[in-house]
Structure 1
Amino acid sequence: MNSALDAPHGTAGSGAAAGGSWTFLSNHAHVLLCLADDPHQTLSKIAARVGITSRAVQLIVSDLILGGYLTRTKVGRRNHYQINPDGHLRHPLEAHHRVADLISALGPTARS
């Protein structure tokens, strides 16, 4: 085995938790769900929540903007992000679902 991609399921990476280190959603989905929760939050806050670098979040946000899933508007010194709920998921297995479906299923819960 040459890389974590070649490793048997649940064994990739060192110090993996009992269930392995993989997750069902990509970092792109995690960033999108964070922005659904709070469209005003900073990239560094998103990075901390997702567990990736701020630079990785910046690249993902750029991908999402280029893909038509997000728009960015400057509000003072901060950015505000708006999600396009009608964008379709990219993988052929999920392409019949919209971003709104993902957010509805896994997005922010009602706040008290």
Structure 2
Amino acid sequence: MPSWTFLSNHAHVLLCLAADPDHRLHDIAERVGITERGVQLILADLIEGGYVERERVGRRNHYTVHPEGRLRHALEAHHRVADLVAAFGLEK
């Protein structure tokens, strides 16, 4: 795997959830290439930041990505989460 990527792990986790809101932590960790603990920490950031909402459904979690959220870096702050998700063809 390359030593760097264009998107952060936060973006990768967000895109995984946009693609499948019922992904398990293990599945996300495997796809992103980080540990489950890393996914948990990123999810906590995304939830705290208002980008993602977690809902317990039976024994699983369902995640809702909030498309109206603004990207955090000054260079991208004029874009919404919806723009990022759409750029990867994941809009519903």
Normalising by the smaller structure, the TM-score range is over 0.9
Structure 1 pair 109/96, CA: closer, same or farther in 2 (3 Å)? closer
Q: Which secondary structure does the structure 2 equivalent of 1:96 belong to?
A: coil
Overall identity of the aligned pairs, in %: 67
Give the number of equivalent residue pairs.
Answer: 92
CA separation in 2, counterparts of 1:101 and 1:43?
A: 24
CA separation in 1, counterparts of 2:44 and 2:22?
A: 16
Unaligned runs of 5+ in 1: 1-16
Cα distance per residue 1:41-70 (max 9 Å; x no partner): 100100000000000000000000000000
Structure-2 residue corresponding to 1:43: 25
Cα distance per residue 1:24-50 (max 9 Å; x no partner): 000000000000010001001000000
Greater relative contact order (CA < 8 Å, ≥ 6 in sequence): 2
CA separation in 1, counterparts of 2:74 and 2:11?
A: 16
Structure-2 residue corresponding to 1:99: 81
Normalised by the length of structure 1, the TM-score is 0.78
Unaligned runs of 5+ in 2: none
Structure 1 pair 91/109, CA: closer, same or farther in 2 (3 Å)? closer
Asked if residue 28 in structure 1 is aligned to residue 16 in structure 2, the reply is no
- Which of 25, 30, 39 is the matching residue for 1:57? 39
- Which of 61, 74, 78 is the matching residue for 1:79? 61
Higher helix proportion (structure 1 or 2): 2
Opposite residue 40 of structure 1, the aligned amino acid is: D
Root mean square deviation of aligned Cα: 1.5
Normalised by the length of structure 2, the TM-score is 0.95
User: Radius of gyration: which is bigger?
Assistant: 1
